């Protein structure tokens, strides 16, 4: 079984990452803000943070702790990004944006149940 040229064929099928990656970083920013805002609103309504690490940060440092966790995740992503081939770099913002978007949607749903 030979894998000669597989990487080139895969890279040729993946669109250039510049535009896609830029859009995904925008989604990261929006989802980060959405997650933090909906978390704060949920806490205001008496809900609890489900993530134990985030709960510890919120309990200890409030919103600043939550932003510090998010900044740490973004920082790790930015440090790891150059280690990837250019065609695969959009996976970094996608890996941040997807769970934060899901968390934002879940937060909005949970808040809507207590209104």
User: Cβ(31)–Cβ(100) under 8 Å?
Assistant: yes
Q: Is residue 25 situated within a structural domain?
A: yes
Q: How does pLDDT run along the chain (115 residues), one tens digit per residue?
A: 555 665 565 455 544 557 999 999 999 999 999 999 999 999 999 999 999 999 999 999 999 999 999 999 999 999 999 999 999 999 999 999 999 999 999 999 999 999 9
Q: Is residue 91 situated within a structural domain?
A: yes
DSSP 57-93: HHHHHTHHHHHHHHHHHHHHHHHHGGGS-GGGTTHHH
Q: Is residue 58 situated within a structural domain?
A: yes
How far CA 21 is from CA of 4, 32, 52, in Å, comes to 28, 16, 30
Q: Is residue 82 situated within a structural domain?
A: yes
State the pLDDT at residue 60: 96
Q: Is residue 1 situated within a structural domain?
A: no
State the pLDDT at residue 49: 96
State the pLDDT at residue 15: 47
State the pLDDT at residue 4: 65
pTM above 0.85, yes or no: no
Residue-number span of the structural domain to which 103 is assigned: 6-114
Please count the structural domains in the chain: 1
């Amino acid at each position: 079984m030979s894998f000669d040229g597989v990487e080139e064929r895969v890279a040729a099928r993946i669109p250039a990452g510049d535009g896609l990656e830029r859009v995904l970083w925008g989604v990261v920013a929006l989802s980060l803000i959405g997650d933090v805002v909906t978390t704060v609103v949920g806490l205001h309504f008496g809900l609890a943070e489900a993530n134990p690490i985030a709960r510890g940060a919120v309990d200890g440092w409030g919103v600043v702790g939550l932003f510090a966790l998010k900044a740490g995740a973004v920082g790790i992503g930015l440090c790891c990004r150059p280690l990837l081939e250019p065609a695969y770099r959009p996976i970094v913002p996608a890996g941040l944006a997807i769970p934060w978007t899901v968390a934002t949607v879940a937060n909005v749903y949970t808040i809507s149940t207590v209104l």
